Each structure stands twice: as structure tokens, then as C-alpha cells.
């Protein structure tokens, strides 16, 4: 065999090896579960859900997009929670958080930088009676390893979420409103 053919084969073998290694090592986030049993896969496809609102936390400089499934979006459109009614069973609301940076091409504009978290709250009253019907889950993202990790040592983490969200008990425990667009 010619030298050139041999080196072409060698390159091919290396490329194939790297490709296999990457695809074997890539994490399937949807296999992860929060310590209270909620699976990441319960929001499968959330990447394309409708936007409810953006938000920004000044204490950790995090930009957020808050998204809802169809049940949640329709509930807002029906006037919930302003009309005193609760979000229906099956409502799911997702928050995606990124660190922020100044736009490299227009520094007055700030934009998402690195993905930090995906978390969500889902209404299932039978499943989550101790937190007023809402189930909480948070998955923290580490950009260095490109992996998500479920938040919380055990299922008591949800009480922490619930206690702070109780500030807006009158709005069925949901902070974010659906602004005009």
C-alpha cells in the first residue's frame, strides 16, 4: 500500500475514534432525575416552548427566559392567576438561566453568555400534595463538562423552593406574569 493511502486510513481511524468517544460521552440530560423523582424528560421539547417573559436577577447577574407549555400559556390568556383562579393540572413553567455578558459588537447591549440552569415547576396535585400541588425541579449546567446535575441532596430541597414561592401564594405560587406583547 502506498504511504499516502496508509496515512489516509490512519486519519480516518482517529476521526472515527474521536467521533465514537464524543457520542458515547455526551450526556443525555433527559435521563436525569431530581431527588424528588421528577425527571428532566417531563419537559422534553421545552426548548421551543412559548415565552412568557424574560427576567433578570441583579444578585447573581443572571438573565432568564421563562417559558410555558400550552396549558400554562392558555391559562394566562384566560386571566389566571389575576382572576383568582389557580393554574390547571398539567401546567408547566420552565426557567432557563444564563450568565450575561456585554455584546462584543455593541457593549451597551447585554446578552446571554453561558447556560447556568434549567428549572421548572409542574402542577400535579395528587403527586405533590405537600407543596400545594406544584412539583419543583432544578438542573444546574456546567459548561466546562457540558453536563447537567440535579440540584438538591434529597427531596427536602423542594421545600426551599416552595417556601420562597409562597411569597406569591395569592398568584398560585408563580412569580412571573404574562406581559403584553
The least distance separating ligand HEC from the CB of residue 41, rounded to whole angstroms, comes to 16
The least distance separating ligand HEC from the CB of residue 174, rounded to whole angstroms, comes to 4
* Spatial separation of the C-alpha atoms in residues 53 and 48, rounded to whole Å: 14
Backbone φ and ψ of 45, nearest 5°: 90, 5
Position among 118, 161, 172, 178 found at the interface with ligand HEC (CB under 6 A)? 161
Burial class (CB in 10 A: 0-12, 13-18, 19+), 86: middle
Residue 116 binding ligand HEC, by CB under 6 A: no
Position among 93, 96, 118, 122 found at the interface with ligand HEC (CB under 6 A)? 93
Position among 38, 63, 72, 121 found at the interface with ligand HEC (CB under 6 A)? 121
Kindly report whether the peptide bond that precedes residue 116 is cis, defined as omega within 30 degrees of 0.
no
Residue placing its CB nearer to ligand HEC in the complex, 36 or 105: 36
* Cα→Cα distances 61→65, 94, 100, 112, Å: 13, 19, 7, 10
- Which residues contribute to the site for ligand HEC (CB under 6 A)? 55, 57, 64, 66, 93, 95, 119-121, 136-138, 151, 157, 160-161, 164-165, 174-176
Amino acid at each position: 500500500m502506498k504511504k499516502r493511502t496508509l496515512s489516509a486510513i490512519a486519519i480516518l481511524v482517529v476521526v472515527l475514534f474521536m467521533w465514537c468517544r464524543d457520542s458515547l460521552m455526551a450526556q443525555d440530560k433527559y435521563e436525569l432525575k431530581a431527588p424528588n423523582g421528577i425527571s428532566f424528560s417531563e419537559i422534553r421539547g421545552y426548548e421551543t416552548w412559548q415565552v412568557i417573559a424574560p427576567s433578570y436577577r441583579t444578585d447573581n447577574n443572571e438573565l432568564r427566559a421563562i417559558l410555558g407549555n400550552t396549558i400554562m400559556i392558555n391559562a394566562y390568556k384566560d386571566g389566571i392567576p389575576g382572576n383568582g383562579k389557580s393554574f390547571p393540572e398539567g401546567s408547566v413553567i420552565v426557567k432557563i438561566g444564563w450568565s450575561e455578558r456585554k455584546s462584543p459588537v455593541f457593549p451597551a447591549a447585554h446578552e446571554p453568555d453561558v447556560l447556568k440552569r434549567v428549572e421548572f415547576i409542574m402542577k400535579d396535585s395528587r403527586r405533590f400534595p405537600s407543596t400545594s400541588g406544584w412539583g419543583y425541579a432544578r438542573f444546574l449546567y456546567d459548561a466546562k463538562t457540558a453536563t447537567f446535575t440535579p440540584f438538591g441532596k434529597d427531596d427536602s430541597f423542594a421545600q426551599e423552593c416552595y417556601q420562597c414561592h409562597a411569597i406569591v401564594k395569592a398568584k398560585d405560587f408563580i412569580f412571573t406574569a404574562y406581559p403584553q406583547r
